[in-house]
């Protein structure tokens, strides 16, 4: 039975807050415009969408991705030789750290952070390696009004070299670094962001990259930020996805955070990642 919200796709929500699996769709095929439009609508409404049993090669992965947005090159890790917009994210059996293994929104240290990210699973561990996602619309909406007013006036500095996230990159950087200094990038963004398509407001800070409010010191900012970092990931805002070989996730970096869980030591995991060009947050 099809979901009554759509005519061409069937979706299955995986939590009350965020996320949906879209069933019985092959993304490497030439999807008609109506089907693709419903997929994109689900992406905006559920913030992260998942697919099972996909069969991409780099050409078809990149071809489908271009319907979502404009693929861009990730700044720190080498892309595939013939497809530089596709970044292989490999955790070897001997690696200890999980790439990006901390709650974050991708590359908020850039002036124009990515619109979204697409991840395709080629090799997965027998168990573990799930990814959590958190709805930052809900994180903002559930705050008291006086805190919303305060945060609505604030901007914050985001950096690429914050210690916690730098550690998570260390193993991948050993074999795939492009040579960029880990602390080379930084950007200032509003703490409360307005989504350019849905027009909804969300919290736009994260533990991995945000250091302090502009006009305040790190010491002054830390108690407020620590409260918000914990608030952003309350269980009622989240979902959790179990990867299988051939799984795909596409998430909206403008209103979500994610956290890949590092609980599969001694196993190999390989993903192909594409990030999409974004715009300047407002």
Catalytic residues: 104, 106, 258, 273
The residues that bridge with 263 in the sheet, in sequence order, are none
Q: How far apart are CA 269 and CA 206, in angstroms?
A: 25
N-term to C-term CA, the chain:
40
Q: How far apart are CA 233 and CA 11, in angstroms?
A: 24
Neighbours of 221 (CB within 10 A): 19
Q: How far apart are CA 55 and CA 122, in angstroms?
A: 9
Q: How far apart are CA 120 and CA 117, in angstroms?
A: 10
Directed axis angle between helix 58-68 and helix 33-46, to 10°? 70
77 contacts 89 by C-beta, under 8 angstroms: yes
Q: How far apart are CA 98 and CA 129, in angstroms?
A: 9
Q: How far apart are CA 35 and CA 24, in angstroms?
A: 12
Q: How far apart are CA 9 and CA 22, in angstroms?
A: 7
Tokens of 222: 């830390």
204 contacts 257 by C-beta, under 8 angstroms: no
**Strand bridging mode 71-72 / 48-51:** unpaired
């Amino acid at each position: 039975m099809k979901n009554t919200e759509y005519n061409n796709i069937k979706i299955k929500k995986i939590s009350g807050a965020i996320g949906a699996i879209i069933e019985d769709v092959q993304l490497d095929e030439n999807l008609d415009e109506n089907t693709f439009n419903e997929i994109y609508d689900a992406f905006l409404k559920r913030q992260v969408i998942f697919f099972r049993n996909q069969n991409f090669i780099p050409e078809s992965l990149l071809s489908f991705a271009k319907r979502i947005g404009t693929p861009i090159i990730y700044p720190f890790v080498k892309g595939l030789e013939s497809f530089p917009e596709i970044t292989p994210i490999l955790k070897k059996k001997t690696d200890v750290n999980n790439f990006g293994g901390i709650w974050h929104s991708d590359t908020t240290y850039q002036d124009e952070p990515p619109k979204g990210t697409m991840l395709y699973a080629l090799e997965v561990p027998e168990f573990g390696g799930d990814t959590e996602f958190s709805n930052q619309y809900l994180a903002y909406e559930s705050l008291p009004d006086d805190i919303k007013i305060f945060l609505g006036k604030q901007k914050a500095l985001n950096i690429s070299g914050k210690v916690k996230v730098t550690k998570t990159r260390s193993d991948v950087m050993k074999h795939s670094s492009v040579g960029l200094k880990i602390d080379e990038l930084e950007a200032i963004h509003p703490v409360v962001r307005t989504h350019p398509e849905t027009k909804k407001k969300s919290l736009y800070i994260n533990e991995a990259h945000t250091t302090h409010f502009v006009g305040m010191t790190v010491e002054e900012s830390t108690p407020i930020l620590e409260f918000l970092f914990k608030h952003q990931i309350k269980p009622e805002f989240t979902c959790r996805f179990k990867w299988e070989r051939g799984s795909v996730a596409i998430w909206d970096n403008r209103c979500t955070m994610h956290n890949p869980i590092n609980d599969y030591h001694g196993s190999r995991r390989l993903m192909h990642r594409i990030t999409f060009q974004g715009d300047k947050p407002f």
